[in-house]
Structure 1
Amino acid sequence: MLFSKLLPKDGNFFELFNQHADRIVEAAQAFSKMVENYDDVVKRRQYNKEVDAAEHAADRITHEVNRALHKTFITPIDREHIHKLINTMDDVADLIQDSAETMALYDVRHMTEDIVRLTDLSVKCCERLRGAVSMLAKIRQADVAEAALQTCEEIDKLESDADRVMRSAMSRLFRDEPDVRELIKLKAVYELLETITDKCEDVANLIEGIVLENS
C-alpha cells in the first residue's frame, strides 16, 4: 500500500487532452478563415501560418502526453486508451495542416462551394470533439457520460453528412470540370477534408469506448 502511494500518478492527462483539443479547434477555425478569405493572398498566408502554429502546438502536447505516459505508473484511464486517443487527436490536427499545405503546394486558384461545405463540417466536428474531450475527466458521473456519448453521436452524424457532400462533390467534379489538372487538385483537397471528419469520428469512437468502460 505504501509503495503504491509513492508511485507517480495521473500525469495531468485530462488537462493535456483539453489543451490539444483547443489547438485542433484553433487550426480548424484558422483553416476556415483561410478558405473564407482565399482570394486575399495576404490573409490566406496569415491564416495558413495560424494553422501551422496550432498544429505545431498540438504536436508538442502529444509529445508531452507520451512522455508523461512513460513516467506515470497509475493513470486515470487505461494507458492504451490514453496513447490511442492523443495520437488519433494529433492525426486530426495533422490533416488540417495537410489540407492547407496541399492548397498551397497544388496552387489551388479558387474555392468551390463543396470545399466551403466540407470545411464547415470539419470545423463542427472539431468543435464537437473538443466538447466530448472536455467531459472525460467526469465520465464516472452518469449525466456527463450520457452527454459525452450524445456528443460522439453528433460527430458520427456530421461525418455521415461529410460523406454525402464528398460523393456529391466528386460526381460534380468529374462531370463538370474540364481542366484535368484542376480536377486532380480539387479531388485531393476534397479527400483530405473528408478525412478530417473521418478521423474525428475515430476519436469519437475511442471516447465512446472510454466512457463505456469507465462510467
Structure 2
Amino acid sequence: MVASNPFARLFGTSPIKPLQLHMAASVLCASKLNAFFAAAFADNWALAEEIFAEISAAEHEADRINKEFRMNMPKSLFMPVSRGDLLSIISIQDDIADQAKDIAGIILGRQLQVPPPLQKKFTAFVENSALACDKALVAVNELDELLETGFTGQEVKLVEKLIRELDKQEQRVDKGEKSLRHRLFALESDMNPIDAMFLYSTIDNIGALADLAKAIGNRLELLMAK
C-alpha cells in the first residue's frame, strides 16, 4: 500500500510538492517581518513577541519538512532533475526561514530601536526583501509544470520571465540597502555604538533574504539549462 511507504506518504508521486510546501513555510517567515517591524516601530514589544512566535512556528515547520525530505528521498530519482539539485534548492530555502527568524530574534532580544528618521525607508526595504522571497516562491511553484512539459515550451518562457522579475527585485533591494546604510551612517554618531553595529548587521541580513531568493532563481535557471 502507498501509505506504508514513507517516501510515498511524503512525496506522493513527486518530490516537488514538499519542496513547494517547504518554500511556502520559509517565505511565510520572511513575510511576517513586515508586521514584526511595524510592531517594533510602535514600541509594541508584546505584539512583536507574538509575531516572533509565529515566525518561529513557521521556521519549525520548514525544518520538519526539510528533515523528512532528506530522510525519505531515494538515492536516485526517475526525473529530469537530480537528487542533488533538489537538495541544493531546499537548503537555500531553509536559509530564508533561518535568516528571517534570526533577524526578528535579534531585534526582539535587544528591543533594538530603528531611529525614526530611518523607519519609512527601513519599512520599504523590509517589504521589498520579503517581496523578492514571494517572487521566488511563485517561481518554485511552477517547477511541477516545468517537469510535466519536459522543460520546454511556454512554461519555460514563463519561468524565465519570473526569474527576470526576481532579479530586478533583488536589484531594488540592493539599491535600498545601500541607501539605508548611507542614511544610518549619517545618524550613527548620535546612537549607542552597539545598537548601531547591530542595526548595520540587521540591514545586511535583511538584504541577504533577497540574495537567497535570487539564488533560488539561479538554481531554477540552471535546471532549465541542463
TM range (shorter): 0.7 to 0.9
Q: How is 1:80-95 mapped onto 2 (pairs within 5 angstroms)?
A: 80-95=84-99
Offset at residue 86 of structure 1 (A):
0.6
Q: 1:149 aligns with which of 150, 154, 160?
A: 160
Letter in 2 for 1:172: R
Q: 1:193 aligns with which of 200, 206, 210?
A: 206
Offset at residue 183 of structure 1 (A):
1.4
Letter in 2 for 1:15: K
After TM superposition, the runs of 4+ consecutive aligned structure 1 residues lying more than 6 A away are: none
Residue of structure 1 in register with 2:36 after alignment: 34
Q: Distance in 1 between matches of 2:57 and 2:199?
A: 25
Offset at residue 88 of structure 1 (A):
0.8
The answer to whether the Cα contact below 8 Å between 2:145 and 2:155 also exists between their aligned partners in 1 is: yes
Q: 1:172 aligns with which of 172, 176, 183?
A: 183
Sequence identity (%): 20
Offset at residue 185 of structure 1 (A):
2.1
Q: Deviations over 1:81-129 (max 9, x none)?
A: 1110111111111111111111123321246233312210122111111
Residue of structure 2 in register with 1:62 after alignment: 66
Query: Is 2:216 the partner of 1:206?
Result: no
Query: Is 2:77 the partner of 1:74?
Result: yes
The answer to whether the Cα contact below 8 Å between 1:27 and 1:96 also exists between their aligned partners in 2 is: yes
Query: Is 2:105 the partner of 1:101?
Result: yes
Aligned alpha-carbon RMSD (Å):
1.9
Q: Distance in 2 between matches of 1:58 and 1:17?
A: 10
Query: Is 2:48 the partner of 1:44?
Result: yes
Distance 1:82 1:174, change over 3 A: same
Offset at residue 51 of structure 1 (A):
0.6
Offset at residue 60 of structure 1 (A):
1.0
Most deviating of 108-117 and 56-65: 108-117
Report the secondary structure of 1:37's partner residue: helix
Query: Is 2:134 the partner of 1:124?
Result: no
Offset at residue 157 of structure 1 (A):
1.0
Residue of structure 1 in register with 2:3 after alignment: none
The answer to whether the Cα contact below 8 Å between 1:30 and 1:51 also exists between their aligned partners in 2 is: yes
Most deviating of 179-188 and 129-138: 179-188
Scaled by the length of structure 2, the TM-score of the pair is: 0.84
Q: Distance in 1 between matches of 2:69 and 2:101?
A: 21
Residue of structure 2 in register with 1:3 after alignment: none
